[in-house]
Structure 1
Amino acid sequence: MKDEANLETLIQDVVQSSEIEGEILNPELVRSSIATRLGLDNSGLVKSDRHIDGVVEMMLDATQNADKTISIERLFGWHGALFPIGRNGLYKIDVAQWRSGDMQVVSGGLGKEVVHFEAPKAERLEVEMERFIGWFNTGSLIDRVLKAAIVHLWFVTIHPFDDGNGRIARALTDMQLSKADGVNQRFYSMSAQIKQERKGYYTILEKTQKGDSDITNWVVWFLNCLKEAIIASNTIIGIVVRKHQFWMQNNVHNSNDRQRIVLNKLMDNFEGNLTSSKWARITKVSADTALRDITVLVNKGFLVRTDSGGRSTNYVLNW
Structure 2
Amino acid sequence: MRFGRSNTNKLLFVLSVDTEEEFDWSGVFPQGECCVDNIKLLPEFHQFCQQLGVRPTYLVDYPVAASPDSAAILRQILATADAEIGAHLHPWCTPPIEGANSERESHVINLPEPLIRQKLDVLIRAIQDNVGVKPQVFRTGRWGIDGKVLKVLIDYGFKVDSSVYPYYENQYFSCMDACDTPYWPDLQQPNVPGVQRDIFELPITSGFNRPNFSMWGKMHSAISAPWLSGLRLVGLAWHTQMLRKLFLSPELSTAEDMISLVKASMASGKPVIHMFLHSSTLLEGMGEYNHHNVGRHDLYARIRSVVEFLQGAADIEFCTITEAADRLRPPED
TM-score normalised by the chain length of structure 2: 0.28
Name the structure, 1 or 2, with higher relative contact order (CA <8 Å, separation 6+).
Answer: 2
TM-score normalised by the chain length of structure 1: 0.29
Q: Which is greater in Rg?
A: 1
Task: Select the structure that is richer in helix.
Answer: 1
